Amino acid sequence: MRDIFTDLFANEQPDPVAAARRAMRPPLPRRFYQKAGVEEAEGGFRVVLDARPVRTPARGFLIVPSRALAEAIAAEWDAQKETIDPAAMPLTRLANSIIDGVAAAPRPVAADVEKYLGSDLLFYRAEGPQRLIERQARLWDPVLGWARETLGARFVLAQGVVHAAQPEGAMAAARAAIPDDPWRLGAVHVITTLTGSALLALALLRGYLIPEEVWTAAHVDEDWNMEQWGRDEIALARRAARRAELDAAAKVLASL
């Protein structure tokens, strides 16, 4: 097994464009194990391959905080066929990222989520046409209402792309909702960067939205454009990869 985990996952990032580049990579390694499983370990549950522990690219053990999450990751390994394709293993990649990166330095990750709060997708509304304006309001206004009522954060809206400075009180209230523990923080960060909205990520974290609602709200403009101009198959392939990443992050949140 040696350093196969480093070779497989060291260059993987939660960037869906990476999936489109996999054809340019060297041939994928052949599957070398019979069965993936889960064992109890100090700090949680460890993923094993033929009873040998899986390691992250930084050579840490792939130990996660819940059995449900460990079993879902093990299922990704079991689902591999003759070769091992990291692009088809979003949960494993996210777990690697959290263990090797977020857990070691959570503050920069939280700061990045905070940055999105200052220019959240939900704040910037279309100037037209009217049907798009109404669709944005229908999908986004309830989330802003939830933030106002539940988090105590009242934000300012704008039309177009002109920056709208947000009240410090609203920023502080929403900032306080960003989770501290690395697993929730890592999942929230992935959802934030995929959607362009920290508020959508926090609404999913708190159970106000489900993944499908987050996905739909994040793609109002993109869906509108496809309705007007037709489907872009390349864009849809990238979108499917992004959806897999979002679903992986949502599964992490649901498993904790």
Do 127 and 159 form a contact (C-beta atoms < 8 A)? Answer: yes
Helix axis angle for 182-195 and 233-255, nearest 10°, is 160
For residue 64, with 0-12 CB atoms within 10 Å meaning exposed, 13-18 middle and 19 or more buried, which class applies? buried
Is the domain of 118 the same as that of 224? yes
Structure tokens at 187: 């999942």
Q: Which pLDDT tens digits describe the chain residue by residue (256 residues)?
A: 444 455 566 655 544 444 445 445 678 999 999 999 999 999 999 999 999 999 999 999 999 999 999 999 999 999 999 999 999 999 999 999 999 999 999 999 999 999 999 999 999 999 999 999 999 999 999 999 999 999 999 999 999 888 899 999 999 999 999 999 999 999 999 999 999 999 999 999 999 999 999 999 999 999 999 889 888 888 888 999 999 999 999 999 999 9
DSSP characters for 96-142?
Answer: HHIIIIITT-HHHHHHHHHHHHTT-GGGEE----HHHHHHHHHHHHH
Residue 93 is assigned to a structural domain of this protein: no
At 82 the three-state DSSP class reads: coil
Domain that residue 35 falls in:
4-87
Is the domain of 61 the same as that of 111? no
How many domains are there within the chain?
Answer: 2
Q: Which residues contact 70 (CB under 8 A, 6 or more apart)?
A: 38, 44, 45, 46, 47, 64
Is the domain of 170 the same as that of 240? yes
CATH number for the domain harbouring residue 76: 3.30.2180.10
Domain end marker among 53, 87, 121 = 87
Is the domain of 158 the same as that of 113? yes
